[in-house]
Amino acid sequence: MSAREANFDGLVGLTHNYSGLSFGNVASQNNAASVANPRAAARQGLRKMKALADLGFLQGVLPPQERPSARFLRAQGFTGTDHEMIMRAAKEAPAILAAASSASSMWVANAATVSPSADTPDGRVHFTPASLSSKLHRAIEAPTTGRVLRAVFAGDSHFAFHEPLIGAPAMGDEGAANHTRFCSDYGEAGVEFFVYGRSEFGGGVAPQRYPARQTLEASAAIARLHGLGENATVFAQQHPDVIDAGVFHNDVIAVGNRDLLFCHQNAFLNQPAVYEEIRAKLAARGAQLRVVEVPVAAVPVEDAVSSYLFNSQLLTRADGKTVLVVPQECRDNPRVSAYLDQLTASRGPIDEVLVFDLRESMRNGGGPACLRLRVVLSDAEQAAVNPQVWINDARFAQLDSWIERHYRDRLVDADLADPSLLDECRTALDELTRILALGSVYDFQLVN
């Protein structure tokens, strides 16, 4: 079956700020209370999308969510008009208001886990929105995420949607950030690789400093929901030591594409056995796993975390060559930059490195891979996607102009108490729904 991989990037929201809400995410914590620039953040992400589209990659965009979330604030007992509610929350519970105002939905690697039709028994692309139950500011995203996915991927004949897993610690699910798919070609049946941080019921080792957000039980449930058999799945545990070093998702320490795995030497527990299981199952599907393992001597874990070397995108060009998309921080780190030079000079599986300025997102702990959701689509499935979400010259110009009209160029924690921020967000999203033909994905509760 002919198929291509599409990357759908999240558009940074109007309330992009540095509230330091994500315990375990070193960048988020280190940059708490810094001054953010939402306009620059959105433009940095949009320019990455346009650059990759110009290079011939299939590139789409997913919208931000309403923030601050009035529905969430009302569920916490705040009453009155929308403006009164925000001012009361700012006075009585600023941490709750910060959670309600987070623009974290921009990191759509956490939006859902996706299995392509080549892997599923019913021949449809399966989506399970992530519950993101480990963090309050992210746990409120799933309902809108589900509506957005249905508005973008239209039609039950091609796409199947599941409900998020129950929001309990035992079923902690963080979406595609802990999921990779290996295959010979995108349209061929593959092996889906699920990485977890701990097991709720199976015991074993676990990180001691920072929480493990993904459980084995959640990964196994998603595999069952998508109809994936034992021969099509590999479950591996992330090394607890790297979680304690700030590797809160697998995509901060490993990335894969087709038959290639690019990872750190200390990414997984029992790493050689993980390689062997993937190799054996992938070989049964006609492909041979290639591994580029970065030794700790070349790139220590702390450098991998600060540079986000592995929170990169591995992309296959039309000519079959492999491109690694990394943030500017990789070039700013001498050890990582030297390793990248060695990598491309070695004439190995990775042919080219592309560097992007994503500093606004990076300061909150999200790099190129965090900003995208990967979806493999056959020709018919691609034709069924809402055409307004594809990035091209016209869509880029529309979105760039939209950002200029609606986004602030400065935002600090104190600004979250400004009720007009909600009005600005709603006005902007109302226009965006028309640009992207999203229908009624936003569930605004207007109380004035």
CATH number of the CATH domain containing 403: 3.75.10.20
Which one is catalytic: 141, 370, 381, 425? 370
Which one is catalytic: 137, 249, 264, 406? 249
Is 448 part of a structural domain of the chain? no
Mean pLDDT by 10 residues, the chain (448 residues): 95 91 65 85 98 98 97 96 96 96 96 98 98 94 96 94 96 97 97 97 92 96 97 97 94 97 98 98 97 98 96 96 97 98 95 96 92 98 98 98 98 95 96 95 68
Residue-level pLDDT at 21: 73
Domain count, the chain: 1
Contacts of 307 by beta carbon, 8 Å cutoff, 6+ apart? 326, 327, 329, 330, 332, 333, 336
The answer to whether 93 and 76 are in contact (CB under 8 A) is: yes
Structural domain range at position 91: 3-435
364 φ, ψ to 5°?
Answer: -100, 5
Is 83 part of a structural domain of the chain? yes
Parallel, antiparallel or unpaired: strands 322-327 and 313-316: antiparallel
SS3 35: coil
Residue-level pLDDT at 203: 85
Distance CA 89, CA 77 (A): 10
| Known catalytic membership, residue 425 | no
Is 230 part of a structural domain of the chain? yes
Is 36 part of a structural domain of the chain? yes
Is 176 part of a structural domain of the chain? yes
Distance CA 14, CA 442 (A): 15
| Known catalytic membership, residue 174 | yes
Residue-level pLDDT at 251: 95
The answer to whether 247 and 301 are in contact (CB under 8 A) is: yes
Q: 3-state SS string over 332-374?
A: HCHHHHHHHHHHHHCCCCCCEEEEECCHHHHCCCCCCCCCEEE
Is 440 part of a structural domain of the chain? no
pTM of the model: 0.96
| Known catalytic membership, residue 66 | no
Is 193 part of a structural domain of the chain? yes
Residue-level pLDDT at 19: 78
Which one is catalytic: 5, 174, 217, 329? 174
Omega before 68 within 30 of 0, i.e. cis = yes
Per 3-state DSSP, the chain is made up of helix, strand and coil in percentages (nearest 5) of 40, 20, 40
Is 443 part of a structural domain of the chain? no
The residue to which tokens 């901060």 are assigned = 252
